[in-house]
Chain A
Amino acid sequence: GIQVEQSPPDLILQEGANSTLRCNFSDSVNNLQWFHQNPWGQLINLFYIPSGTKQNGRLSATTVATERYSLLYISSSQTTDSGVYFCAVEWASGSRLTFGEGTQLTVNP
């Protein structure tokens, strides 16, 4: 099956810092989503981004489908950004999402 690798596995930042999270995948995908799992376990949708670039406030994402990677940018980080960030890909429309192992982000005040 398709493989999804995320880096770094852990990231510790001071409030206000910027960061880049990376997601590599092993095959062509139909869909790619970024999620934030908050400390209560809720998976929050950040981006639906099979290709191209999107921005939402302090967050932006870029997927280069031909090179099989996606990047999530977090600018001016806040303590509420802490949690686990997951990248998940879908190889065919309507099929399962395959998740990476996640990046554990800690933002200190």
Chain B
Amino acid sequence: EAGVVQSPRYKIIEKKQPVAFWCNPISGHNTLYWYLQNLGQGPELLIRYENEEAVDDSQLPKDRFSAERLKGVDSTLKIQPAELGDSAVYLCASSSGTSGYNEQFFGPGTRLTVL
């Protein structure tokens, strides 16, 4: 069974440019998460989807970040415009959402460098 797929793996952009990250979750997983990981820290949630619905986006900086999950499968996270402080690893995770069992599985991440 394929794991969580993310692309690109690395991205280097100049500040004020837009950037987008793509995630394909594990087949059959209804819940999808985007996390941000800064160097030397644990990941922190940006947004959580249940199927197509964003049910927790309280930590998403909505002035420059947006996300979508069309058809409840793939998801895209966008930053526009990017700032120097956005340099980090962006991780996508998914879980089955089965009641009482919610193990999360992570993709390899996209390492963003903003110059």
- A interface residue numbers (CB < 8 A to B): 30-31, 33, 35, 40-43, 45, 48, 86, 88, 90, 93-97, 99-102
Residue in B93, B101, B102 with the greatest tally of chain A CB atoms within 10 Å: B102
User: For chain B, which range describes its interface: under 10, 10 to 19, 20 to 34, or 35 or more residues?
Assistant: 20 to 34
Contact of B89 among A30, A41, A94 (CB under 8 A): A41
Closest to B45 in A: A96
Q: Are B41 and A33 in contact (CB under 8 A)?
A: no
Residues in A with CB closer than 8 Å to B103 are 31, 33, 45, 48
List B contacts of A94 (CB < 8 A). Answer: 31, 48, 50, 95, 97, 102
B43 within 8 A of A: yes
Q: Complex formed: what's the CA distance from A97 to B36 in Å?
A: 12
Chain A to chain B contacts (Cβ below 8 Å), 18 pairs: A31-B103, A41-B89, A41-B109, A41-B111, A42-B109, A45-B103, A48-B103, A88-B104, A94-B50, A94-B97, A95-B48, A96-B48, A96-B56, A97-B33, A97-B43, A100-B42, A101-B41, A101-B42
Q: Does B72 contact A (CB under 8 A)?
A: no
